[in-house]
Amino acid sequence: MNKKENSITDGSILVVDDSEDMLEVLRRNLTLKGYKTYTVTNVPQALKLLDSVPVDLVITDLKMPDVGGFELIKHIRANYKNVGVMVITGYPSIQGAVDAVKTGAEEYLVKSFTDEELYAAVERAFDKLYSRRPAKDHPYFKHVPLQGIIGESEAMEKVFDHIMKVSQTTATVLLTGESGTGKELVARAIHYCSSRASNPFVPVNCGSIPEELIESELFGHLKGTFTGAIETRGGFFHTADRGTIFLDEISNTSLSMQIKLLRVLEDQEVYMIGSKKPQKVDVRVIAASNVNLSDQVQKNKFREDLYYRLNVINISLPPLRDRDDDIILLVHYFAGKFSNEISRAKPAFSDEVLKVLKAYHWPGNIRELKNVIQSLIIMSETDMIDVPDLPAIMRFSVSREKGIMRTLEEIEYEHIQNVLTSVSGNKTQAASILGIDRKTLREKLKKFGYNA
Ligand SMILES: Nc1ncnc2c1ncn2[C@@H]1O[C@H](COP(=O)(O)OP(=O)(O)OP(=O)(O)O)[C@@H](O)[C@H]1O
Ligand SMILES: [Mg+2]
């Protein structure tokens, strides 16, 4: 009874969670991105809704009173072939999420996640749904993009070549590059091109886990070793066994954590908290940083030995502004993708707009470009995107050609843009250079539609 055989119609999402607050946050965020969003607080209601409206993706909590999320996943897998499932699970219970993936969920998110993480996971779930449909023509690409990484510039050809080479090995890889250049995307590509592809890829944002929890999250703990350790539980390294662990924002780990990571890398063994017995793990490590790690070493904030141990192979991702040829390609790619998601025809872009987009500095790199195109697709109602549709900060980059005939406002924004570029989009640093507080900078950027 595959009723929903062709149900990918209007980017509709059903969210199931017993917390009204969570539902509200998700409804607001998903609606903002143009998805049609339904919310219910329990599984029986979800089943009713699935039977009455077309749904593309179900986002569900796992722990709910009466009927839990696992039952829902099983029901969807048995009855709705083309409905995707994404799981949200309370922190910290990554094992539940991994079990959910084994049951048939395509994606999981661990609370508390950022808006960006939510959008990225939803998008990956939609990409998987679309990839199950008959292959569509991609008139903009010379060849099929590798693992969803778009780029035909010389710099990206080099990156693709490195991905293919390192995926044949288990060497540790350090990914560097400004924010939004695609480090996580490349980490996933390395994993999915390698012989480990059928085992887990476990992303860990080292910056977002509190210092007192990180050791237990990474290496696990024995029952009773600290208050709250009510059972023995493995860590991310156990979950990633025979797969890949992605240590994102590695520079945010403390020096004492760095020693422990070094030991794991050297011995391929982990010690659970409370245990003196090492356990062998077979994990490929990919680390990423958007700050310059060798600078951190100089400042004694990052251990030199760990730096060399991580930096066996370095893949450095070029900023978008140096990937001239790719900008237009990415514009068309994201325009097609987001139009498709919300079932509107892909608009055209005037030559002038393409010129402005090519000339812009893109301090937030591909993430920024993607956000700009997505909001153009949601907000504009015309068939042809023109310069007035663009955020003001980009329109001003046209005005640079006017030389002396510029307003103070135009010069102010050009300066802000240059400063942001020089600090790789870091707003705190930019505000300090500009001599204004972060809030003022945020307001100015908002007024001018800066989107990263
Ligand atoms: N070459 C590409 N083709 C298509 N999408 C891309 C490409 N590079 C990046 N993206 C998209 O841009 C967004 C940012 O990429 P990603 O999260 O991998 O960047 P990052 O380098 O990890 O950034 P940060 O340092 O801020 O974490 C993601 O949504 C990703 O899918
Ligand atoms: Mg990242």
pLDDT at 251 over 90: yes
**CB-CB neighbours of 335 under 10 Å:** 20
> Between 234 and 320, where is the model more confident?
320
Mean pLDDT value across residues 303-315: 95
Residue 283: what pLDDT? 96
Verify that 186 and 300 share a domain, yes or no: yes
Helix axes 154-167, 183-192, angle to 10 degrees: 40
Q: What is the pLDDT of residue 93?
A: 61
Q: Is 188 in the pocket of ligand 1 (CB under 6 A)?
A: no
Is the pLDDT at 384 greater than 90? The verdict is yes
The angle that helices 408-422 and 392-399 make with each other, rounded to 10 degrees, is 110
Nearest CA to ligand 1 atom 10: 182
The CB-side HSE value for 413 (13 A sphere, CA atoms) comes to: 25
pLDDT in the model for residue 426: 83
Say yes or no: 124 and 17 in one domain: yes
How many angstroms separate the CA atoms of 333 and 336, rounded? 5
Looking at the fold, whether 275 and 366 belong to one and the same domain comes out as: no
Work out the percent of the chain whose per-residue pLDDT is above 90. 52
Question: What is the CA(79)–ligand 2 centre distance, in A?
Answer: 35
**Average pLDDT score over residue span 294-306:** 95
Does residue 249 surpass a pLDDT of 70? yes
Same domain, 168 and 305: yes
What is the C-alpha to C-alpha distance for residues 96 and 133, in angstroms, rounded to an integer?
A: 29
In the predicted model, is pLDDT for residue 418 greater than 70? yes
Same domain, 387 and 403: yes
Say how many Å lie between the CA of residue 366 and the centre of ligand 1.
6
Quick one: average pLDDT of 88-104? 73
Ligand 1 contact, 323 CB (< 6 A): no
pLDDT of 452 above 50: yes
pLDDT given for residue 136 in this prediction? 45
Mean pLDDT along residues 330-350:
90
Give the distance (Å) from ligand 1 centre to CA of residue 437. 28
CATH number of residue 124's parent domain: 3.40.50.2300
Q: How confident is the model at residue 195 (pLDDT cuts 50, 70, 90)?
A: very high
Cβ atoms of 51 and 43 closer than 8 Å:
no
Mean pLDDT of the region 55-69: 91
Structural domains of the chain, count: 3
Task: Look at residue 104 and tell me if it is in a domain.
Answer: yes
On whether both 66 and 106 belong to a single domain, the answer is yes
Per-residue pLDDT at 177: 94
The mean predicted confidence, pLDDT, of the chain is 86
Assess whether 165 and 297 both reside in one domain.
Answer: yes
User: Among 32-36, 302-306, 307-311, 363-367, whose mean pLDDT is lowest?
Assistant: 32-36
Q: What is the pLDDT of residues 160-184, one digit of tens each?
A: 999 999 999 999 999 999 999 999 9
pLDDT tens-digit series, residues 282-291: 999 999 998 8
The DSSP-derived string for 215-279 is HHHHH-B-TTSSTT--S-B--HHHHTTTSEEEEETGGGS-HHHHHHHHHHHHHSEE--BT--S-E
d(CA 268, CA 402) in angstroms, rounded, equals 60
- pLDDT above 90 (res 403): no
Enclosing domain of residue 127: 12-131
Contact 204, 315 (CB under 8 A): no
Highest mean pLDDT among 120-124, 146-150, 316-320: 316-320
- Using CA atoms, how far residue 333 sits from 132, 157, 344, in Å, is 18, 18, 15
Say whether both 158 and 303 belong to one domain.
Answer: yes
- Which numbered ligand comes closest to the C-alpha of 175? 1
**Residues 168 and 297 reside in one and the same domain:** yes
Give me the pLDDT at residue 96, please: 72
**Ligand 1 pocket, 181 CB below 6 A?**
yes
Residues 112 and 189 in one domain: no
- pLDDT at site 89: 82
Q: pTM for this one? A: 0.74
Give the C-alpha separation, 198 to 14, whole Å. 28
Q: In 13-88, where does DSSP find H-type helix?
A: 20-32, 43-52, 69-79
